[in-house]
Every structure is written in structure tokens, then in C-alpha cells.
Structure 1
Amino acid sequence: MPYQRIKWLILVIPTVTLALWEYVRHAFLLPVISMDLGNVLAPVLVFLITMTLVRKLFRMMENVTDTLHQEQTAKAAFMEREQLARELHDGISQSLFLLSVKLDKLEKAQDHGDIRTTTDEIRSTVRHVYEDVRQSIASLQSEPAKTEVQWMQSVQRMAEELELGGLKVVMDWQLRDSHLTSKEKVELLAIVRESMLNVQKHANAERLTVRAVPQPSGSGFVCTVADDGIGADEAELLAKGRYGIRMMQGRARAMGWRLDIRRIAASGGPNAGDGMIVEIVKGA
């Protein structure tokens, strides 16, 4: 039985019981039961109904409450695991991928100066991974804090890392701090970073363009991440193991944004094929 129905029954049953007793007593039992006896029997009858039917309803309500509490606990645990997965993916996983790219670069380096430079880059990336791990552990051990995100710092760092790997990154960011809330900044930058990293991983592209502009109406924005690589089919994007795309979709859906991933006609690129564009839209 639904919780709301049980609650209303508990409230209504004693009142209805008393009303029915008074009606029956005055309509049929006055010749048999005196007024004084009827007044004594009224609370006794309500008490008996309460100890039997209403008490049973209370037990039912407690069971429903326990079930709801268990469901809420399970949901909270799932959300915590999902948040942890996002943090690992957005921080440690991406940093480790960039580290592998630099290790590949180190293997190909011939000049001593290039080896030293690449080694310094690897050391810097390892420090970033270490800081990400410490931050994740600190976040798990403390209550969530409503802190302001350092605007665009992570994306700028990602762009620099990708350019070190040979990918040309063009930034055209026209959104100001006032256009987005702190929550929107976190989610939008996470989607942008994941889109940029996917280009490095899968697109085999030479050029990556990140553009973000406010809507003409002033409410909302349009953000795009486009490349001139080889493109990908929808089945490839959503294949098993592609957690990044699903996380991007989940973030956009939770914020009420429209996320569109499609092929575009590329002007160049290593294979002169179709590139890809990721478009995030808020508002009309």
C-alpha cells in the first residue's frame, strides 16, 4: 500500500469510527444504551480500533519507510560511485593517457635536448597525477565543498598538453564567468576536456578547434569542439568501454543541455576524411 494512503487512513479511521458510532447509537441504540454508557463506550471503541487496525497500519507505514530509506541509501551509494568514476576519469585516467603519449614521444626522441624536454614533461604529468589522486582522496574523506572552479585552467592545461603531442589547438572562448553558474562551469569544462581528449585518442587529427559563444538572447550558450580527423560512426562512439561518451551524455542530460556528436566535412587532416564535432547547447 502506498505511503500516502496509509498516512491518510491512520488520520481518518478514528474520526470515521467515532462518527459511525454516534450515528448508530442515536439512530438505533438509544432505547438500549443510555447516554452515559454511550459516552463511555465511544472512547473504548476508538481505542480498540486504534490498537487493532490503526496499529497494523503503523507497522505497514514503518515497513514502507524502511524500504524507502534503503532505496535512498542505495541510490546515494550509486551516485557516490558514479561521482568517483567521473573524478577518476576526468583526472587520473586522462592524465595517465597523456603520460603514455609522452612516453611514446620519448621513445622516438633522438636529440639529447628533446629527451630532456620530454622527460621534464613526463615528470610534470606525474606530479599532476599525484595531485589528482591526493585531491580525490581528500574529497572522499571530507564533506563536499561548494568551491568556485578555476575558470578554464584545466582546459588551457589540456590544450597545452595536446599541442605538445603535435595537435594544433585553437581556442575561441567568448563565454564570461557571469554567463554560467559554478555547477555549469564544472559540467561544461568536463565535457569539453573529454571531447578534446577523445580527439587526441581516436581522431588522428591535425587541428582541434574549441569555440564557446553566448546565445544571441543572452540566456544560454553554444559550445563546440571540432576536429579535422577521420571521424567515427555512432556505433563506434557508443561501443562497449567508451565510458567518456556516456559520461558526456549523462552530464549534459542532467543539466538540461542538448549534446550533439556528428560528422563534419573536414578541410584537411591526415586522411582527408570527415572530422567530428561535439556541440553542447543551452537554451534556444
Structure 2
Amino acid sequence: MSMRKYKLITILLPPLLIGGFEYFRHEFLLDYLSMEAGNFYITLLTLILSYLVGTWMFKNVEQSNQELVQEQAMRAVYEERERLARELHDDLAQTLFFLNVKLKQGQIDEAREAVSEIDNNLRQAIFNLRTSPENAVSFSNRILQWLQDWRLLTGVAITSTIQINEREFHTSEETQLFGIIQEAFTNIRKHSKATKATITFQAIAEGWSLTIIDNGIGIQPKHDTTKQYGIAMMRNRAQELGAKWELTTAVEGGTKLHMYTDIRR
């Protein structure tokens, strides 16, 4: 129902019913109802009418708000899928060009690596399409399932600690966080030469914390992390989530990504 109809019903229904009752009382019930009794009944009628109209109106407004939230969540999902499709297209195009060059040069080992890269990218894309945020699977289970697939693809051992309550995050927040986790582990696979990785993700009422550590080669001095697309993407997502961002060399070697919020919004 449109807002105009809500306004008309809210404005016209109470005066029409109450006014109609008052008219009927003065025209036909004065001999049967005393003034005190009439005032009591009109007050009771006003109370009942206000309750019924208010309950009906707020129920419809709440339903409209829920539909709006669902629509916004679905829009976030579709926008994320479009972004993933663009990234997959660009990544595959670059890898296919590299593969073509290496095949022409007769460098079979490098060509095999390019084919493996394409296979990994396609598998990740299929996972993203198969397990989108609107599915019934919980956020923590989606993360664990993706990490399991990633471990099988890469052979890198993973230690995971995921402690997230159901509905701790909005769907749009889950999309952002899931994208950060995917990008972080993609970077581990591509650049770190790590043999194991650790992820700790905890969310409580006061805030949340995400830490990803690998035992790879760490941040190289010659690499400017501010200009790398994947890192810039993760940093931008962290800002959109209102989270603090740290990318450092881990104490035991390798790279440490730490994101956290002080107070949940």
C-alpha cells in the first residue's frame, strides 16, 4: 500500500468513526445513554480504534522496512558478484596472455603454472556463485567451507578459529568481510610461498577482530603495498566497515593482517 493511502486512512478513519458515533449518540441514544456513559463509550471506542489502526499501520510499515532491507541486501550481493566477475575477467585475461607468451617461448613449466592459476581462479569463482550470502548457510560455515576448499587447492595448512554469533553482521558487511578474507588468502597463495596460515575471527557485542597470519616470505622492501590492487581493495573495504587496518611483518616471519573495530555500530 502506498504512503498516500496510509495517510488518508490515518487522517480520515478516526474522525469518521468517532464523529459518526457521536452523531448517532446525539440523534438516537440521548434517551438511553447518560452523558457520563456516552463519554465513557467514546473514550473506549477511541482507545480501541487507536490501537487497531496503530497496530495495523506499524505492522505494514515494519513489513515494508523488512522488504527494503532484503532488497538492499540482495543489491549488495549482486554488486559483489559483478565486482568478482570483473576481477575474474581481468585476472583470466592477464593469465591467458601470460600463458600464450610462455607457450610461444616454449617455457612449459611456466605455462603449467598459468594453467594452474586459471584453474584456481575458476574454482574460487564457482564457489562464490554457489555460496552467496543469501543462502541459508551461516556466515562462519561459509568461511570454513571456503577455507577448506582453498586448503585442498593450495596444499597450505590452515589453522582457523571462527567465533561469530548468528546474524552478528548485516548481509552487506558479510559480503565485505568475506571478500577481504578471500583476497588475503589469494595473496598468500600467489605471493607468500607460505606452507601454513592462521585465521582468527572473533565477533562480540563490543566489536570484532580478524587476524590472518602466514609463515611466508613476508612483505618485501621493494614492494609498495599502497599501490597493490588487492591490498588497496582490502583497505577500502576495511574503511567502509569502519574498521582499523594493520598490515605488518609477523613476529615469527611472514605477513600479518589485522583488522578490528572497538565498538560495534
Query: TM-score when scaled to structure 1?
Result: 0.47
Whose Rg is larger?
A: 1
